[in-house]
Amino acid sequence: MDNQALADAGADFLARDFEQSFEQSRHYDDQLWSVCQFAFTGYTTVIPIAIGLFEYSAQTLVSAAVALLAVSFVLGLFLFAVMIRNRVYFVFVTRYLNEHRDFFLKAKPLGFENTTQMFTDRTKPPFFDWRSSEAWLFYIVGLLNSLAAGSAIWMLFSSWPYLWVVTASIFVVTQVWVAVSYLGSREGRSASDAVF
């Protein structure tokens, strides 16, 4: 294979790789929205049912309400972890796309200046950005998880009316702290090291 054929094959590969990476980036973003929608739908169903069992049924159904909330909380923690892990994948793919753009746009193909300054920084986006829509999605799921856990503890120890608020607050702060710590620990690593 001569040099020109090799260069053409390389350009074709990079073009296909860019397109597929862009699709992968969309996939991770869509997955985060889907997980949040699933969690929101699940919790808006489970929490009222559990409260109804607790408030309006015989005392024997309190354990069923607590079990329902506990199972939902464990499932919610799993969904929260999936969201955080997907953020890692999303960031690496997006940074890779920025690297592609940077490589090609430095040559100013056809005189293209990139005056809009479309993303070319291979260090962006950060793994954790409190303002990003993805961060707000995992805040929501963390809050829903915490409401389920707080409600279960309140049902078990209902002598103090503000127990669920305290418990839910502790759970939401803990989940967000773990997420921020994990995402922050991914910075400065190669994709292979951070993901695997």
- pLDDT of 128 reads 96
**In this predicted structure, what is the pLDDT of residue 160?**
76
- The structural domains of the chain, with segments of one domain joined by +, span 3-195
Query: What are the distances in angstroms from CA 142 to CA 78, 122, 130, 151, 169?
Result: 11, 29, 14, 14, 10
Name the packing angle between helices 163-186 and 62-105 (round to 10°): 30
Phi-psi region of 128 (alpha: psi -120 to 50; beta: other; left: phi over 0): beta
What's the DSSP call for residue 159?
T
pLDDT along the chain (196 residues), means of 10: 80 89 94 94 94 81 92 97 96 95 88 88 95 94 95 84 87 97 95 87
Return the structure tokens found at 194: 């951070």
